[in-house]
Amino acid sequence: MKKVLISIFFISLLMGCSTSNTNESEENTSTLDEKTEPKIDANTSFRLPSPVELFILIKSEGANFVQEELHKADKAGDYLDKEKKAINFGIYAADLAYCTVFEKQQETHTYFKTLKKMADGLGINDGYDTEILDRIDNNLNNSDSLYQITNDSYWEVCTYLEENGKSDVLSEILLGGWIESVFLSVNSVIKYEDESPIVLRITEQSFLLENLIEYMRTLKNNNVSEIYLKQLIDLQYSFDKLIDNPDGVNITKEQYKEIADKIKAIRMELIG
């Protein structure tokens, strides 16, 4: 059983997931290149991404709300298989967090309703029920309460999935949520500048990407994780190139474009 602990640091505006893998299968059945897959200790804990933290940071750096880049809520019914539904649940959860952080009341209501329907389809009974929707409606003009409610909902979903042994679904939700959060951040960059604080926040996502990759590697016999792992590892290679930059150069325009293009390509595949 995998133990997932979700910590919400509302005062410090940092929210994340920590996952401990307590039961590994004896044989690694992954088809990933073994040279790129390190041994993972059974008691390793992972700092996993949530949709909200990056939005808080980029908003504080002056990012604008880019509504046209949100995943269309009316597309939610297009996802029929469980894996795609879970991935896009994560994407919509990121969109909800984005709307909440930027205090977009009507959009917050719309995306919460979308998530409620998807949660029903995934058999997720906690976090997005009618009672929470009523609380959302009653607090649309109270940004602090709205933010807390949406955070609580995300926490409850992660806890529910952990307690019911659905690590595969949780990994798919985390994948969708992380990709969407970086995708929206990338689209907040109107013009590349090497010292742009938003660009620097995006480069910092390398650390969370590493943890997401290592967590997904613990999921055995999961074809979906295996497919997207290869793309995430390729994306990590692009982030790793930044290590070799000379002093004073965080990221070049070409490196940023490479990372942004890969994020956009993965996101396009996830919503397709």
Write down the pLDDT at residue 90. 94
pTM attached to this predicted model: 0.83
Write down the pLDDT at residue 148. 79
* DSSP conformation letters of 56-124: HHHHHTTPPP-GGGSPPGGGGGG--SHHHHHHHHHHHHHHHHHHHHTT-HHHHHHHHHHHHHHHHHHT-
Average pLDDT value over all residues in the chain: 81
Write down the pLDDT at residue 36. 42
DSSP annotation of 187: T
Residue of higher predicted confidence among 155 and 95: 95
Q: Judge whether residue 80 has pLDDT over 80.
A: yes
Q: Which two tokens stand for residue 109?
A: 């209501």
Give 48's pLDDT tier (boundaries 50, 70, 90). Answer: low
Mean pLDDT of 13-40: 40
Residue of higher predicted confidence among 12 and 154: 154
Proportion of the chain above pLDDT 70, given as a percent: 79
Task: Give the number of other CB atoms < 10 A from CB of residue 119.
Answer: 21
Q: Name which of 176, 153, 10, 17 is nearest 83 in CA terms.
A: 176
pLDDT one-digit tens code per residue, 164-220: 888 889 999 999 999 999 999 999 998 898 889 999 999 999 999 998 998 888 876
Q: Judge whether residue 87 has pLDDT over 90.
A: yes
pLDDT one-digit tens code per residue, 249-259: 899 999 999 99
Write down the pLDDT at residue 265. 98
Write down the pLDDT at residue 50. 67
Q: Using an 8 Å Cβ cutoff, are 212 and 49 in contact?
A: yes
